[in-house]
Structure 1
Amino acid sequence: MAALEPQHMTVLKKILAERFVPFLPPLLGAAKPEDQAAKQLSRAFSAFALNKLLNITPKDAAASVVDDFNDKGLDAIHYHAPTETLYLLQTKLKESEQFKQDEAQSFCTGIRLLLKQDFTGFNGNVHNRKAEIEGALDACSRIKLVVPYTGDGVSQSAIDALQVLLDDDDLDEERLDKQVDYYAAVDITRDLLAEQAYPPVHTDIALQKHAKVENPRTTYYGIARLTDLVALHKDKGKALYERNIRYFLGSSRSDVNKAIKTTLRDDPGSFFYLNNGVTAVCDEIELKGKNPSSGFRKFKVRGLSIINGAQTVASAAEFVAQHPGSNIDDAKVMLTLIKAPADGPFGKRVTKARNHQNPVQTANFASLDENQERLRQEIAHLGFAYHYRPEASATGLQAISLDEALRALASRQDDPRYAVWLKSEPARLANPESAEYQALFPATLTGVALLNAVLCHRAIRTLVVDYEQKAAARSQEKLIYRHATHVITAVMMKRLRQRIGAATVMDAAAIPGLISQPLDELRQQTFDLGRQRLLGEGPLAYFRNQGSVASFMADLMETHFALTADPTLPTLRNIDTAADAYPRKRLLDYLSGKAPQL
């Protein structure tokens, strides 16, 4: 079993320090100052596990921690009254180590002493809670052992040691659960990401003149009050559109959204006839009561997600907010409720098919890529907002758009064609079904790597734009900087590979100072090489040609990486295999791998 990934360990430690350490019992041992912070995080990990497993507050979870010197292998003791269960924990906050036999044996020793109510060898944290623990031992109906760990598994010898304890009839303790619960890296990652996930929408929906389709999918359709959907929008926010391809684009960016607001202002009674309607999927639909006077039937729905009509509902909500005295009670809309998992293939198919009222770009369907939501959740933990769905609020230095992510990730690729596609065919990279998109967003891409790539890309592009602006008007130098910008960026990004791939977020303010001198050298080398190559050909046409860019980038990397004397290069220059994905692939791959890291 894999250990907790470094980027998730960084997030976990931050949460432990901020959310749990302040509530921990004071340290009893005289640990060295340099060791105290690490010890506190290790203690807080027990509280984190209790918080996630039992849904108790961080304060209550931290109060259950007894981890300290002389804890006899017991790191936390917690009585969960609702289930009458006494939880005993031993945790291990190590990035790579397994939970081992000696730790399991220590845990077993502490459990035996506790069950005998022999407190003599325990530390002050246990003695301070002696009466509470004795009461829990008397009241509990079950005793559960839990081992949370961040390393790469539990050794077989540790499992065997715990099993010896569980099989020991001499303990005379029938309440001891025979199954140890292991809270591992996969569980920790799931719970960390869940903190940034949108909660499922469970609500009631009222439909008038409804009808039902049984096969192949249970579906109800009918007339809904627009005011009901506006109220739902106000209450649930983005969670209501979790599976839609876009959030609200804003009325200023969409003629359709402007028209929606105009109709609501001038003729709300005609809204039903002028609108295409709203489509939603949900996990469950349950028929409830009917109002005889209005003819509306209530439906209880779970896991609701509007997959088409986000602009309709959000525009109406914006109109109501901007015109609080307006009355849109006469506005109705056709609503279709389909019982289907929104993240299943059928839900995605319906989403694609029904989104054609506002102009739709191929990139919008990246919202159906589950990988994008994982990246959003990871990046949210790092203090940034990743907007992979188009929306009006995706602005500011802390916001990252899908387009910006595509450009930054494309600039990381060794394949020189990405520098050409960025210039001539950017839509190619945004198609979720293309091989190019899938190479940019593999399942192994982490949120911190994406964020670091964007921060580096921003800093590089800012300096390159400055080079262009300072060059003489209508000069060849100015045109080279303008049209070779993706090539320059790609070469410099290769020198930042290690920093981008680190487990921590780079300091955006420090990046310009880190790259300014080598980037200025790269600028001059690009200009010098451009003057040699651009004989009778314009920079625009040259840097849109894949063969030209591959050759140019190879020579530029050779110069900038100081590899002109590398004995391997002459051989690689002469290799040209038709099976390679692009010209000079082996040479370019070799040069990319030799990039000196900043």
Structure 2
Amino acid sequence: MNPLQVRHVREALVRQFEEHIDLSDLDDKTPARHREQSFLSRALAAMTVQHVAGAGPADAAASVIDGFDDWGIDAVAVSEDVPHVWLVQAKWSDNGNASLDQASALKFKQGFDLLLREEYARFNKRFQGLADRVDRAFGEGEVKITLVVALLGRPVLADAVNFVFKQACKETEPMTDVRVMGLPDFHELVRSGVGEPKIGLAARLDGCASVPEPFKAYYGTMHAGDVASWYEEHGDRLFAKNIRTSLGLTTVNRSITDTLVKRPDHFWYFNNGITVLCDSVRRTAKFANAAGGPGDFVLAGASVVNGAQTVAAIHAAVKQAPDVASAGRVWVRLISLEDCPEGFAIEVTQATNTQNQVKARDYAALDERQARLRDDFALSLHKTYVYKRGDVDPAPDAGCSIVEAATALSCANRNPELAMRAKQNQELLWEFGANGSYRLLFGAQPTAYRVWRSVLVLRTALAHLAEGNRTREGRAAQVAEHGDLLIVHLVMQQLVHEAFDDQGAEWESVLVRVPSLTDSALEWLIHHFDAEYPNNSALVTFKHPQKCRQLVDLALESARSGQPRPELPAEYSPTPKENERKAAAVPVIVNSGRVADGSPVEFRPVTGPERRTLLPWITEDPRRGQATWVNDRRRPLLWAADGKQYSPTGLTMQMLKLAPGEPPKAVQGTTRWYLPGVGSLAAIADSIRSGETD
């Protein structure tokens, strides 16, 4: 306990977030003490987001979802640059002794599990404004999820609490990690300033030289171990003025780390180096007269504005192999801002981060097989094949790009892992080497006919899946989204005997079969997913190679067996008849007297298309997502947007009609309208039917 540190943090929370934290769910009857504690807890969650995700005060406050139906998650932040989601649970204490008990940790994990299962409708309206961003991030192959425990107390978790988080990480490895922040961390943030921390660094440059004018700068090489120590002490705060922080364990960063671990003497030749902007750069007297020799420097207000990925990868390499990696050298520039004009720091940051980068796909363009494939497309098919980055992709009927070709060939390959790689990260398509995707896809020089016909199957299957997504719900929708390329793989494996390379083959008759094969592949994949992993989320399962191979083998065997397609649960694809049954929920609720007249009801979309269509529309006018319950058996929802009464399904259809976009074919309105802190109308009716109580 440190009362002075607690006071400093409290004052900073009030100063930064008093105008931004939403307390509208607390009415006038809420005691002042409770209101104050709610503010401080939510502001602490916002400050955490501000630090870990680099958000401004307003955006950080908007990430706070604390309140009814938060499921133990106080804030949710999503990186726009790379797929990274932070889930925060914050605990405030006036005495600076906040801790996390096992019950709170279990509730936090329960909320995490709901998000992984994409049960977004279970969360409150504050989360609904973030749902689509979370959904898009989860749809990316290499999404990173960080569970952040923010305690205004000691940053230590009890063994029972640690066990809960270890289980969460084990179930979702390798995409999840845990971070604990305590009073010392928050006080340091407040002391140094969350927005632009004033970091002091020491640097020794070998082969040191200077640029005296127009603006003072120094350059030379540093040992990787010294750079790693910067990150060890300051973390992502080193990159406060950078366009982005470390992107995590990307393909490029893995390559940087591998070079330092395996060939540290080559690192300087392979890496572009680091640029550090400093409020001031002071050279010490030691080695001051050694021209071209070493130089010791003291850096005030330092920020790495180019090379964030290099710094983070160096740190990872040094932790992995300290004796070897520390000896590597990296090129470093130190630029002093003491005599620079206003805006110069921003110009340097933008210029050093917007130069065109060479990507792995660019090396594939050097392969002569790509040029031969381009010529084969032109001469055999009279179509265009684009394989150089920067060239405009042709219209769909006129040809395809190397990216679409590689994705289609990945699905056509007998090994489902290639389709998984394409889904996870397209950069993995250009991995060279004996087991790299590129050699497996293009090494045998595929013909233009094979590539083009594979692309047509890919397009047809994905288009059919997209069409069906308007009516799928629950686990069916999740399998269709996260397993889409595995579904195309299953379709391709049922077409292996077709004449992909035969110039005279009639391909339209093959494409006509693709929608039916896609439906069969999807249904069998869902069936076996439910049977083998009934409690797992599709998001996690379809990132696991061994589980994917197992499911693909089972689904392919079933699809080829000729047996009737499996009957899936009705709630996966609601029919009008099912809607009528759910509509009966309204008289059940009215007859029970369970919900009082005037109770607030809020809309929560269930499917991805609904989120994308309705949430932006509701954000324009929040009244569109609000209604009041009226104990009327036909029209129990009094819509705040127009003051008229509707049935739950009728109001949902009316909203879909008014909002931009095409409405789905079937809607269960009672599963979309929620009483905060209680549940959906459908769930309330089911509870009444089964005789359960709150």
Q: Bin the TM-score by the shorter chain.
A: 0.3 to 0.5
TM-score in terms of structure 1 length: 0.33
TM-score in terms of structure 2 length: 0.29
Q: Which has the larger radius of gyration?
A: 1
